Structure formats: C-alpha cells, structure tokens
C-alpha cells in the first residue's frame, strides 16, 4: 500500500501543484451533503424533472447504485457546458468544453463511478480523478466519496473547473493543476482512482497510489488494439485486471499546458 511520507499532512482546498508552490494548509473534509439537500428545482434547464428523465434513461441502461443515481440527479450538468450547448446537456452525448477536450456522456460518467462504488450504503473514501475537465465528474464524485482529489494538466480547464465548482461550495473536492500521469502521491493511498483520458496502458504511478482493496477505472488500449474500459483491483495477493466494453476517450498526455 502506498503511504504518504511520514509527517506530511495531506493538502487542503484549494491544493495546487504549481512550480515552486506547496499545498495549502491541511483541513478535514466533511462527508458530502445528502443529495436530497442539494436537489435543484425550477423550470427549464433548472428543473429537476429534466435530470430525472435523464436518470430514468440511465437506470434503464443498467445504472442501479442508489448513491450514483442520487448524485446524477443532484448535479446540474448544464452548468458545466457553454450556454449554447445547454439544451443538449441532458442528452446522452459528450460535448466540447474547449481546448480539444470533452465532457463525457452521462452514461459513461455514471458507469465509471458505479464501478468504483462499494456495494451497500458505505461511501467511498478518498478518490483521485485524473482529468478534471470542466468539473462535472468531480461534482458527481463529491456526492459519493468522502474526499476527492481532481487533477488537470490544462491550465484553461483547471481555471474553468474552479469557476464552475465555486458556487457549489464542495469542501470535500480538492482541485490540482499538474501532470495527471504522475497521479498525486501526497494524497495517497486512494480507495479509488478514475481517469477521464486514455493511454496505451494504465500508468504505474496510479497503481502504486491505489490502496490495497482499492479499484482503478480508466480507458486504455488493450491487446486488441482498441480503447476499452479497464478495471484494476489491488488485492492483498496482487493486481487483478479486467477489460470491459470499448470506449472512446481523449488521449492521455503527460506534462502541463
């Protein structure tokens, strides 16, 4: 199991990985607020009925974990896309968010988060998200995990996610600007790691930072030469890798920009 260096506290919000800057002072993140407290109301794109229809489609497609269903219902996806794309926000489609990146389909977000959620009512512990994007998936994760570290390599998207998430006041979400291929060792070990970009394989750093008993879900190119959803379970006796359905994610890249 990967452990943080002795005597080093995990960073608090907002944590940053800018050159020359250390993490902010540590703080304890409270458990996420129940979805019932955050369920929006109103008309049009603000209507809970619009998201309820989306969630019904997700359930018809096989999503069943109660915490995931509640989180997908609570988070207003239209607030994470450009105004011109808001009418498409609750369709099951990926949408551009700038800088050549996209917000994943609701069905893909729900599927990947359900894969890392434990069975039963117990919430996830600490989660690392690689690829913050516009912040939508981090917002959904905040409803199912005690603590979320989300790292983005593109400064423009990191800043956009901060703006999108600021009104939600999610104290258990920590946004990081840095190279996601390296993970974030200061927050390890993680109960789960989830990636929004796919490479030739799952980086070893991610597996090292996964707790024993933890699960990693990421797109990766498999032996068939196509990108598939890959699940990595870190057990007391070793690593178990499972390849699931074909997917199409943006490429996983190193460095910052």
Q: How is the chain split into domains, by residue range?
A: 35-246
Question: Between 47 and 42, where is the model more confident?
Answer: 47
Q: Residue 75 is encoded by which pair of tokens?
A: 């988070």
**Whole-number pLDDT of residue 17:** 40
> Of the candidates 184, 241, 240, 236, which has an alpha carbon nearest to the alpha carbon of residue 211?
236
Specify the CATH number of the domain 35-246.
3.40.50.150
Distance CA 165, CA 67 (A): 20
DSSP-assigned states of every residue in 65-88: -HHHHHHHHHS-GGGGS-GGGGGG
Contacts of 257 (CB under 8 A, 6+ apart): 153, 154, 155
Task: Give the whole-number percent of the chain exceeding pLDDT 90.
Answer: 77
Least confident of 6-15, 128-137, 211-220: 6-15
Burial of 244 from C-beta contacts in 10 A (0-12 / 13-18 / 19+): middle
**Whole-number pLDDT of residue 46:** 60
> Of the candidates 150, 149, 116, 117, which has an alpha carbon nearest to the alpha carbon of residue 231?
116
Contacts of 96 (CB under 8 A, 6+ apart): 85, 102
Q: Give the tens place of pLDDT for each residue, 198-252.
A: 999 999 999 999 999 999 999 999 888 899 999 999 999 999 999 999 999 999 9
**Whole-number pLDDT of residue 9:** 47
Based on the residue annotation, tell me whether 104 is a catalytic residue of this protein: yes
Is residue 10 within 8 A of residue 186, CB to CB? The reply is: yes
Alpha helix segments (H runs only) across 75-154 = 106-116, 136-141
Q: Give the tens place of pLDDT for each residue, 58-72.
A: 999 999 999 999 999
Distance CA 194, CA 113 (A): 8
Q: Which residues partner with 198 through β-bridges?
A: 251
Catalytic residue among 9, 36, 94, 104: 104
pTM for this one?
Answer: 0.83
Q: Phi/psi of residue 34, each to 5°?
A: -55, 145
């Amino acid at each position: 199991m990967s452990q943080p260096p002795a005597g080093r506290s995990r960073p608090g919000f907002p944590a940053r990985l800018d050159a020359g800057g250390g993490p902010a002072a540590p703080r304890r993140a409270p458990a996420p607020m129940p979805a019932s407290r955050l369920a929006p109301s109103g008309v049009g794109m603000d209507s809970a009925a619009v998201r309820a229809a989306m969630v019904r489609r997700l359930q018809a497609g096989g999503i069943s974990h109660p915490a995931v269903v509640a989180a997908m219902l609570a988070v207003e996806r239209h607030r994470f896309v450009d105004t011109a794309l808001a009418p498409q926000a609750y369709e099951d489609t990926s949408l551009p968010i700038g800088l050549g990146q996209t917000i994943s389909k609701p069905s893909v977000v729900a599927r990947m988060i359900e894969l890392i959620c434990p069975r039963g009512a117990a919430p996830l512990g600490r989660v690392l998200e690689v690829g913050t994007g516009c912040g939508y998936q981090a917002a959904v994760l905040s409803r199912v995990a005690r603590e979320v570290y989300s790292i983005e390599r593109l400064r423009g998207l990191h800043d956009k996610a901060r703006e999108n998430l600021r009104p939600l006041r999610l104290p258990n979400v920590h946004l990081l600007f840095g190279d996601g291929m390296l993970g974030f060792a200061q927050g390890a070990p993680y109960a789960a790691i989830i990636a929004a970009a796919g490479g030739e394989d799952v980086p070893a750093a991610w597996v090292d930072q996964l707790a024993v008993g933890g699960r990693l879900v990421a797109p990766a190119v498999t032996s068939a030469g196509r990108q598939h959803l890959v699940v990595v379970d870190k057990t007391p006796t070793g690593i178990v890798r499972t390849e699931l359905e074909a997917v199409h994610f943006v490429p996983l890249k190193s460095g910052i920009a």
